[in-house]
């Protein structure tokens, strides 16, 4: 494209220069010729008064020699011979014109230019006082006829060449301005095709190329977001396998001793390691995007989802002798979170409780609904988290298992945090009144800021305290399902359970 623009500019400029320079050069040559003959006519006119006054040869000779062209041998006067019409007219000065040219001018009475050796001769007829016609001849050398023409032509050629070079340079710069953005766009497309997802193109150049660059950047962002969503989805789906794996591990632990039991437990551990590898790989390869899926969710009933998931986990709790309490889920609470996302977050929190606390450890789930937020508190009576801030920073369970350990990929709290932050809320980890860990999930209903979330959390704490006071003394299973352990469970909360973070 760049060379094509240069060739087009070269051809167009050359044609324009030729179209103007050639006629202008011819005009310059004609002007120089006219100037030379005009000077010759003026010089011939200087001898006219002398011819009118006298016809004496000596007087005419002195008059001719007194002029500039006469002194240089370029002026001659041809006087007709008296009484001899056929004789050659006498010459005064140096003549170069032929007799035929002289007779033609004398008969026509008009000035004429004739070519002579070394230049041109201007023949000017002049009337004599005696009634005859004399012819004044002025010799014009060839170099005077073309004086200044060569210089003018060289100047025209230089100007034309400068115009051509300038147009080629301008076309080259314009070509660079068009070609470089296109080249960068092609290179970025090649890099993106090779998997370098961070490749972007500066929006430079002509309007069309800027639009193409903006479209390419938007497409690259969409590709990154789609890949991020797919990898997050793979990680989330793998993490949701933890729930049935937990049941399988508990069942395997109850098989007792023997080769078959050991093989079953080893197979469960191997399966857990494979799931951990899938989750960890998906997290490590996850591009940085604005959100995991980039879509708009329809929302769900938080209390319904929590009741459903607690129905599953309470059965496992009964098998392990854990006391379970559920509060605040007796009404409909709509939140801007997909049902599957909320279920995955709750499974991650409860899975951490079962995975990292001893059997028989009690836990509780409290839900508080305020005007602009929903607060979910998951508390347990386990050993707790030594460093809650570090646990939030790395997104793991924080219970002594690093992201590289089996059963801790760092995705548990990360899933919960993502759910909370997608609504404008946040996630907090602290010490519960049960003596273990309390995880607070604040879900905004109107996209509020974190500061509003903290205010909502303080008000939510008061609501949770009221709910826990009402729950004291209850002996029925909050899920409404009979069981030897859950029916005799007593409330685990205290009046300040919601204010521990």
pLDDT tens digits for range 324-349? 999 999 998 899 988 888 888 898 89
Confidence band for 33, pLDDT divided at 50, 70 and 90:
confident
Lowest average pLDDT, out of 109-123, 151-165, 314-328, goes to: 109-123
List the one residue out of 113, 108, 115 whose CA is nearest residue 37.
113
Highest mean pLDDT: which range of 203-212, 372-381, 388-397? 372-381
In a domain, 411, yes or no: yes
In a domain, 401, yes or no: yes
Residues 306, 329 contacting (CB under 8 angstroms): yes
Confidence band for 479, pLDDT divided at 50, 70 and 90:
very low
- Per-residue pLDDT for 394 more than 70? no
Lowest average pLDDT, out of 20-29, 44-53, 186-195, goes to: 44-53
Residue 490 structure tokens: 């007593």
DSSP 3-state assignment of 198?
Answer: coil
In a domain, 165, yes or no: no
CA–CA dist 222, 257 (Å, integer) = 53
Q: Residue 497 gets which letter from DSSP?
A: G
CA–CA dist 349, 243 (Å, integer) = 11
Q: Give every CB contact of residue 204 below 8 A, 6+ residues apart in sequence.
A: 181, 210, 213
List the one residue out of 410, 412, 417 whose CA is nearest residue 394.
410
The pLDDT score that the predictor gives to residue 377 is 95
Residue 439 region by backbone torsions, left for phi larger than 0, else alpha for psi between -120 and 50, else beta: beta
The pLDDT score that the predictor gives to residue 355 is 84
Cβ burial of 197 (10 Å; 0-12, 13-18, 19+) is middle
Dihedral sign (CA 286, 287, 288, 291): negative
- Per-residue pLDDT for 399 more than 60? no
List the one residue out of 417, 367, 377 whose CA is nearest residue 396.
417
- Per-residue pLDDT for 6 more than 50? yes
| Phi, psi of 406, deg, nearest 5 | -65, 130
- Per-residue pLDDT for 141 more than 50? yes
The pLDDT score that the predictor gives to residue 462 is 44
- Per-residue pLDDT for 290 more than 70? no
In a domain, 385, yes or no: yes
Number of domains composing the chain: 1
**Cα Rg of the chain, angstroms:** 55
pTM confidence score: 0.40
CA–CA dist 98, 110 (Å, integer) = 16
The pLDDT score that the predictor gives to residue 393 is 64
Q: pLDDT higher for 317 or 406?
A: 317
CA–CA dist 409, 151 (Å, integer) = 87
- Per-residue pLDDT for 15 more than 70? yes
| Full domain range(s) for residue 333 | 300-499
Residue 439 structure tokens: 């995880």
E strands, 108-234, where?
112-116, 119-127, 133-141
Residue 323 structure tokens: 């006391």
Lowest average pLDDT, out of 17-21, 78-82, 195-199, 478-482, goes to: 478-482
In a domain, 357, yes or no: yes
Lowest average pLDDT, out of 54-58, 103-107, 259-263, 375-379, goes to: 54-58
Other CB atoms closer than 10 Å to residue 159's CB: what's the count?
Answer: 14
Q: Average pLDDT over the chain, rounded to whole?
A: 76
The pLDDT score that the predictor gives to residue 58 is 78
Highest mean pLDDT: which range of 201-205, 260-264, 459-463? 201-205
CATH number of the structural domain spanning residue 460: 3.30.565.10
Q: pLDDT higher for 205 or 295?
A: 205
CA–CA dist 333, 374 (Å, integer) = 8
The pLDDT score that the predictor gives to residue 455 is 46
The pLDDT score that the predictor gives to residue 463 is 45
Confidence band for 299, pLDDT divided at 50, 70 and 90:
confident
In total, the chain counts a number of residues equal to: 501
DSSP 3-state assignment of 158?
Answer: helix
Residue 200 region by backbone torsions, left for phi larger than 0, else alpha for psi between -120 and 50, else beta: beta
Residue 475 structure tokens: 């002996």
List the one residue out of 397, 420, 285 whose CA is nearest residue 348.
397
Region 90-115: what's the mean pLDDT?
A: 82
In a domain, 30, yes or no: no
The pLDDT score that the predictor gives to residue 488 is 30
List the one residue out of 389, 372, 367 whose CA is nearest residue 471.
367
Partners of residue 58 on adjacent β-strands = none
- Per-residue pLDDT for 192 more than 70? yes
In a domain, 319, yes or no: yes
DSSP 3-state assignment of 295?
Answer: coil
Q: Residue 498 gets which letter from DSSP?
A: G
The pLDDT score that the predictor gives to residue 400 is 45
- Per-residue pLDDT for 221 more than 70? yes
Where do we find the tokens 């990929």? 409
Cα distance from N-terminal residue to C-terminal residue, the chain: 66
Each residue of 157-177: pLDDT tens digit?
Answer: 999 899 999 988 888 888 877
The pLDDT score that the predictor gives to residue 498 is 35
In a domain, 229, yes or no: no
């Amino acid at each position: 494209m760049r060379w094509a623009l240069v060739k087009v500019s070269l051809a167009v400029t050359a044609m324009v220069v030729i179209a103007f320079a050639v006629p202008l050069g011819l005009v310059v040559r004609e002007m120089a010729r006219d100037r030379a003959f005009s000077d010759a006519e003026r010089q011939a006119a200087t001898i006219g008064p002398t011819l009118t006054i006298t016809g004496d040869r000596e007087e005419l000779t002195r008059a001719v020699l007194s002029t500039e062209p006469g002194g240089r041998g370029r002026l001659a006067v041809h006087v007709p011979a008296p009484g001899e019409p056929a004789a050659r007219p006498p010459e005064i000065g140096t003549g170069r014109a032929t007799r035929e040219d002289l007779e033609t001018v004398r008969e026509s009475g008009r000035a004429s230019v004739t070519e002579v050796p070394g230049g041109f001769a201007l023949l000017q007829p002049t009337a004599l006082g005696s009634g005859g016609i004399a012819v004044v001849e002025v010799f014009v050398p060839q170099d005077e006829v073309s004086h200044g023409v060569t210089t003018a032509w060289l100047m025209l050629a230089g100007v034309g060449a400068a115009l051509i070079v300038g147009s080629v340079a301008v076309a080259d710069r314009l070509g660079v301005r068009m070609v470089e953005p296109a080249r960068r766009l092609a290179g970025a497309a090649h890099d993106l095709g090779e998997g370098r997802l961070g490749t972007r193109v500066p929006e430079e150049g002509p309007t069309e190329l800027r639009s193409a660059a903006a479209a390419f950047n938007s497409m690259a962002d969409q590709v990154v977001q789609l890949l991020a969503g797919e990898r997050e989805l793979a990680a989330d789906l793998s993490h949701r396998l933890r729930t049935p794996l937990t049941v399988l591990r508990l069942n395997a632990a109850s098989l007792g001793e023997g080769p078959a039991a050991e093989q079953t437990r080893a197979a469960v551990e191997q399966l857990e390691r494979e799931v951990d590898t899938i989750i960890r790989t998906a997290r490590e390869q996850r591009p940085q995007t604005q959100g995991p899926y980039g879509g708009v969710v329809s929302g769900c009933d938080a209390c319904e989802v929590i009741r459903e998931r607690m129905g599953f986990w309470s059965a496992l709790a009964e098998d392990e002798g854990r006391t379970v309490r559920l509060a605040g889920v007796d009404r409909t609470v709509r939140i801007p979170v997909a049902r599957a996302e909320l279920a995955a977050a709750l499974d991650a929190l409860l899975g951490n409780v079962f995975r990292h606390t001893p059997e028989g450890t009690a836990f509780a789930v409290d839900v508080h609904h305020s005007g602009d937020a929903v607060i979910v508190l998951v508390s347990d009576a386990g050993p707790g988290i030594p460093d809650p801030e570090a646990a939030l920073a790395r997104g793991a369970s924080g219970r002594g298992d690093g992201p590289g350990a089996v059963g801790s990929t760092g995705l548990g709290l990360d899933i919960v945090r993502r759910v909370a932050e997608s609504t404008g809320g946040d996630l907090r980890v602290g010490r519960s009144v049960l003596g273990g860990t309390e995880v607070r999930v604040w879900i905004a209903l109107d996209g509020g800021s974190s500061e509003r979330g903290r205010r909502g959390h303080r008000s939510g704490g008061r609501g949770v305290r009221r709910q826990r006071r009402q729950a004291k003394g209850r002996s029925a299973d909050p899920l409404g399902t009979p069981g030897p352990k859950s029916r005799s469970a007593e409330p685990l909360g205290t009046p300040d359970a919601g204010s521990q973070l």
